[in-house]
Amino acid sequence: MKAKHQRLILVIIALIAIVGAGLLAAWGLRNQANYFYLPEQMVSAPPAVGQAVRLGGMVQKGSITTAADGVTVNFMVTGNTADAVPVRYSGILPDLFVEGSGVVAEGSLGPDGVFKATNLLAKHDENYVPRELEGMGTEQAAKMAADTTVGLK
């Protein structure tokens, strides 16, 4: 067999191996995919009941209610339109979770149309300042940061 034919066969085998590895990876990760939905997408074309997805938007003002158990929280997530998705979450809320703030809820849509969140991620704006640094000047904050990183080196 000529060297030219050997190279051609090796290239074909390599391509088949790459395609096979890609298909194998896609098949292995098929249940790990977590699609991101906006509220208007969730209303117009909802995912299958029980499918793991992420819902991102803004917490609607005046929509946060706490259930009698003190742990379950119900609220509405809105987007750029008037569409809102009801969300139920049981657990400890992030510190930055407030009405009018951004939120990403991980979970699944229930048969009753309520999004059952298993994890909440609160988003902050560009003006966020940690509680520890509120009211401090720039120099004080820099000194505090320098003092806390001295032991890390």
pLDDT digits (tens, 9 = 90+) for 39-66: 998 888 888 888 888 999 999 998 999 9
By three-state DSSP, how is residue 128 classified?
coil
- The DSSP letter of residue 153 is -
Q: Are residues 86 and 47 in the same domain?
A: yes
pLDDT of 128 over the 70 cut: no
> Any idea what the Cα angle at residue 49 is, between residues 43 and 53, rounded to 5°?
70
pTM beyond 0.85: the answer is no
CB count in 10 Å sphere of residue 123: 14
User: Out of 27-31, 92-96, 148-152, which region has the weakest mean confidence (pLDDT)?
Assistant: 148-152
| Structure tokens, 56 | 């991102």
- For residue 19, being part of any structural domain is answered with yes
Please indicate whether residue 143 or residue 54 has the higher confidence score (pLDDT).
54
Phi, psi of 13, rounded to the nearest 5 degrees:
-65, -40
First to last CA, the chain: 62
The mean pLDDT value for 65-93 works out to: 89
Q: Domain check: are 78 and 26 in the same one?
A: no
103 beta partners: 57, 122
Domain boundaries, position 27: 1-32
Lowest mean pLDDT among 17-21, 78-82, 87-91: 78-82
Q: What is the pLDDT of residue 124?
A: 66
Residues 6 or more apart whose Cβ sits within 8 Å of residue 41: none
Same domain, 26 and 65: no
Residue 153, domain member (yes or no): no
Q: What is the C-alpha separation between 134 and 124, in angstroms, rounded?
A: 15
Instruction: Please check whether residues 114 and 62 belong to one and the same domain.
Output: yes
Number of domains in the chain: 2
pLDDT tens digit sequence for 4-31: 889 999 999 999 999 999 999 888 877 6
